[in-house]
Structure formats: C-alpha cells, structure tokens
Amino acid sequence: MNIILLGLNHQSAPVELREKIALDNCEPAQLYQEFRGLKCVDEGICFSTCNRVEVLLTTSAPAEEAVEEVKSFLAAQNGIPASEFEKLLYVYQAQEAVSHLFRVASSLDSMVVGEPQVLGQIKASYRDAVKNHASGVVLNKLLHKAFSVAKRVRTETGIASHAVSVSYAAVELARKIFGDLSAIKILLIGAGEMAELAAEHLLHQKASEIIVANRTLERALILAKRFNGQAVAFEEIPSLLVKVDIVVSSTGAPEMVVSAEMVRSVLKARKHRPLFFVDIAVPRDIDPEVNSLGNVYLYDIDDLKGVVEENLSARTHEAGRAKRIVEEETIKLMNWLETLDVSPTIIALTEKTEKIRSAELERTINKLDILSEDQIKALEVMTQSLVKKIIHDPIMFIKHFGHHDRKDDYLELTRRLFNLDQAEERSPDEEEPDQA
C-alpha cells in the first residue's frame, strides 16, 4: 500500500490554470462515484480551494499507474487535456505525502501562513469523502491526525496569534485599547469593503452596536441591515462622536470627513472615554491632528500595514517551530502505518497477552506463598497454554485475511479490539482526533 498526494497550488501554478482544474463546482456524490471507479485508487479524498487542487489517495498499484489514472480523472472532470497541467503537478509519496498534508492542514503551505480557513476546507472535503465512502482506515487515521497536528501547531506556537489583514489588525488594536469589546459602539463612515470586514471582525468580538453613516442613505440602510445596526445621515457624524467608541472610516471623499476641531468639540461630553479612529481611506478621512488629542487614538492605512508586516514576520518565525511539530507527527504516523502489517500485529498481540499472563501469575504466586517449585512450574505451563489457545483463533484470523483486499481494515480492527496501540493513544502528545 502506498500513499500518494498530487496537485497544484498557488506556488506551482498560476490562478488561470488552477481555475481550469478546480473541482469545487463538481457535485460531491457524482465526483466520488467516478473517483471510486478508478481501478488504482483504494481510498481517496479530493481537496479544491482557491489556492490548491489536490488528490490524496492510497493505492496497491504501482505509483506511476495511479498517478496517470488520477491525471486522466482530473482532465476528464474539467474537460481539458492532462498535458495542459501535468508538468506543473507535484507528486508526493509515503512520508512526503503525509508531511505535505500536515503542512497544509497547519497552514504552513498557505499563501498567508497561519490563516485558519484551509483547515475548515480540508474538514469539509473529508466529510464529503466519508459521506461518499471514499475514505477508509488509512485516510481516516491520516486526516484525523492532520486535524490534531493542526490543533497542536496552533496551540503550541504563535503562528495564528498575530493579525495579518488590515481589517483584523484594526480589531486587534481596538482590543488593546478597550480590552473587552462587548459594550463597544461602532460608527462606520462609508461602506467600503475593508470597513465591512472590520465591522464583521468587531461584531465577532460581540461589539454591542453598529451605526452606518454613508453619503448614499440607501447603501447605509443595506449595510446596517446586514449588521443589525442603524443607518444615519452623513450630517449626523459630529453628534455621534459623543456616543461611539470606535470609528472606522473608508469613504472615497477627496477631503477630510472628520476634522480635529470636530473631535475636540466632543471631548468634554465624552468625559475622557477613549475614542479610537481607524482610517482605511486613501485619501485619508480623519484629520491626523486628532492623534494629538487626549484619549484619542488614530491609525491610518500605513499604520495598519506596518502592524501587519510585523505580524507576518512573527508568524514566519513561529513557522519554524511548527515545522518541527509536523516532522515529529509525520514520523509517528509513519510508525503507525508500519503496524498495518501482519507480523507486527501478531507480535504486538503475543507480547501484550504474555505481559498480562506473567503479571497475573506473579501476583497469584505471591498470594500463595506455600507453592512448591513444581507447582509454580505447572501453573506457568498451564497459563502459557491457556493464553496460546485464547489468541490462536485471532492469529489465524489475521494470517488468513492478511492477504485479503481489506487487509488494512482487519488489521486495524484487531489492533482496536485488543487495544494494541494503547501506549501511543495515552501519550500526552497525542491529541484526541477531531471528528470532522
């Protein structure tokens, strides 16, 4: 059995080609019905996002045959010749395939390192594969392990703890100023896309109220409805500065929308409560002079980009630690794969039963301290014979089905029934599988 992963991503192929080979428009049931019909594929999962199209599979056939068959499958699904994309395909096998999957799930292979979306996309793809009976013992274990590796990377490193989008960086700064954002009132000036993203992030932090001011009231109403907020006229901005805590501005106005004098006039009424301006507009909407006023904080687009660049640098540093975790977990997974063979399973079963037998016999002998040497020897022989007879049928079962097409299923079942991987499962480094 071999594990193979092949695909294209943002590093290997341009977006024009990734669009042509994408599988996200395919209906999963139909896709997997055809995928499962491939003669070289034992188990398989298809991943398709804006930045990658990958196929992960196990095969008992020669790797070259399996790869050629999957290339033809991808070509047929998209109605393009394989020659159009095959030179840009990467193909990984065995340990390299496992390591690549772990890197992708942990967002180490993403365009923005540490972004969380890719893990959700992999989970969704895995659910489709399971629902359509394309995933089996090996890929189930591999994907669950990938989810736990991603969780471990996010828990033990700071790879996801630094904002790397302008909109989210604004929210991070707001949290530093206000701490808990649940009682915060927000004023959106303008209805640009980045302001919308910032508003979404703020609402995710349980901000209490959003007010939208836009030159076109109709657009303000639409946005306010989306955020369950309130739409107001542009002329109401000065009076609103008394009550709101955060102002996110992103208009296309050629002149300043909020002057320093406008802000200065409301400071007394605000009673020294902090006021945080996020100016995403170019040209800027907020007079830079407001930053000199007490308890007023202003960050413009350049300030936020500076924060993002610092955070990206921090994530890159953390990626080194994350890669070591991926390497460690890849070795563990490969060790498990080696157990999916007849001999290691029989040896593990024999060793475990012998360990139980000898421990129980010793405990019994210690309680019966009047036993003679001959009696002890007789007990030894009897318990050995008993154990051999108990495990005889399971061992015959393993040997018989060890050459069956579903060998991996039977070996995994045996290992679970007798809990032969007990030591590994109890390891503190082993996270519980994420049941996607």
Please state the rounded mean pLDDT for residues 248-259: 88
Chain centre to alpha carbon of residue 127: 14
Please give the pLDDT value at position 405. 61
Q: Above 80 in pLDDT, residue 156?
A: yes
* Residues classed as catalytic: 50
Q: What is the DSSP string of 30-77?
A: HHHHHHHT-TT-SEEEEEE-SSEEEEEEEESS-HHHHHHHHHHHHHHH
Distances (CA, A) of 236 to 159, 254, 273, 296: 42, 19, 20, 20
| pLDDT tens sequence across 362-383 | 998 888 878 888 989 999 999 9
- Listed residue (292, 274, 234) closest to 258, CA to CA: 234
Please state the rounded mean pLDDT for residues 118-130: 92
Q: Above 90 in pLDDT, residue 259?
A: yes
As a whole number of angstroms, the distance between CA 188 and CA 200 comes to 11
In this prediction, residue 99 has a pLDDT band, given cuts at 50, 70 and 90, of: very high
Of residues 1 and 353, which shows the higher confidence score? 353
Whether the predicted model's global pTM rises above the 0.75 cut: no
In this prediction, residue 434 has a pLDDT band, given cuts at 50, 70 and 90, of: very low
Do residues 265 and 237 make contact, with C-beta atoms less than 8 angstroms apart? no
As a whole number of angstroms, the distance between CA 34 and CA 382 comes to 56
Please state the rounded mean pLDDT for residues 428-434: 38
Of residues 418 and 261, which shows the higher confidence score? 261
Query: Phi, psi at residue 383, to the nearest 5°?
Result: -70, -35
The region of weakest confidence among 7-16, 109-118, 277-286 is 109-118
Please give the pLDDT value at position 18. 86
In this prediction, residue 277 has a pLDDT band, given cuts at 50, 70 and 90, of: very high
